[in-house]
Amino acid sequence: MGLTSSIANMQSPHFYCELGQLISSTDHPQFAENMLQLVGKLVSVQQLQLSEWTLDERQSNPLEITLLGRAGAQEDLPLPEPPRRHDPLLHKMLEMDDSLLIQMNAQNRDGRSRHTPHQCHLVSRKANRRCVIALYRAPAQGGYSLSELAFLKNLSTTLLPLLERHAQVHRQQALKNRRDWSAPPIDPFAPSSLQREFDERLSLGDINLSAREKEVCLGLLTGGTVPQMALRLNVKNSSIETYLKRATAKLGVSGRHGLAKWMVGA
């Protein structure tokens, strides 16, 4: 399968397992590592950095840059620092109208080019905030090809909404800590967090799923496979497929990828 193929056509159970792990790890310390693991299986990437920029659009400068996670440090590739206000990406962020932008930073032409990693940025826009997924790879591997950039743009329709949710939880927790320093932090390992959010999205959409349909959806969203769900529920594989088909029809989507996209609000 070529890189330009839509992720909607991906049938690999490993991809959906890792996508489910990524969805369930939103607001978790492993979020950046899980995202790098998912992307790195499809495109050669050594490092990933997640950040949220709050911009003063009138003064054309960032008010705040919050690092939300990074993963994949390599000895031969210096770990990038959080972007500064002089970063050329800032100007693109100020000018962007769409909710999605991909930018590739060209390799430097001076003597430092051998040590400058190739960069690709996936950016979403919500009011004066920009969520950024920065992907880095070693200079020796060459820049990102057009097919790789096209594929990453396609994949970003799933990744960026997850990062936006991750950033929102981070802001809420920071605000709560400022209001009450003695309050215990939110447990990021709470096993029912995904289920609560799933139920909330169903309620907002006035959608009713049967108990078995919900169980199958949650199992698949957290990385379970059809055979695993069939074994857990003591039914045939075809029954799991039927429950998924009924549930996604009620959600107005199609298949496991449609379910994942619905869950992240894409």
Q: What is the pLDDT, as a whole number, of residue 266?
A: 55
Tens digits of residue pLDDT in 43-79: 888 889 898 888 876 766 767 788 888 898 665 555 5
Other C-beta atoms lying within 10 Å of the C-beta of residue 224: 20
Q: What is the pLDDT, as a whole number, of residue 85?
A: 55
200: domain range? 193-263
Specify whether 175 is located in the same domain as 198: no
Contact 66, 51 (CB under 8 A): yes
Greater pLDDT, 147 or 1: 147
The rounded distance, in Å, linking the Cα atoms of 238 and 68 is 41
β-pairing, 118-126 vs 47-56, is unpaired
Instruction: Indicate the residue among 130, 146, 179 that finishes a domain.
Output: 179
CATH code of the domain covering residue 30: 3.30.450.40
| pLDDT over threshold 60, residue 108 | no
| pLDDT over threshold 70, residue 97 | no
- Report the predicted TM-score, pTM, of the whole model to 2 decimal places: 0.65
- Please state, for a pLDDT cut of 90, what percent of the chain lies above it: 10
Specify whether 88 is located in the same domain as 23: yes
Specify whether 37 is located in the same domain as 13: yes
Specify whether 171 is located in the same domain as 203: no
Q: What is the pLDDT, as a whole number, of residue 179?
A: 56
Band of pLDDT at residue 31, cut at 50, 70 and 90? very high
Place of tokens 């962007």: 96
Contacts of 139 (CB under 8 A, 6+ apart): 107, 113, 114, 115, 116, 117, 118
Specify whether 75 is located in the same domain as 113: yes
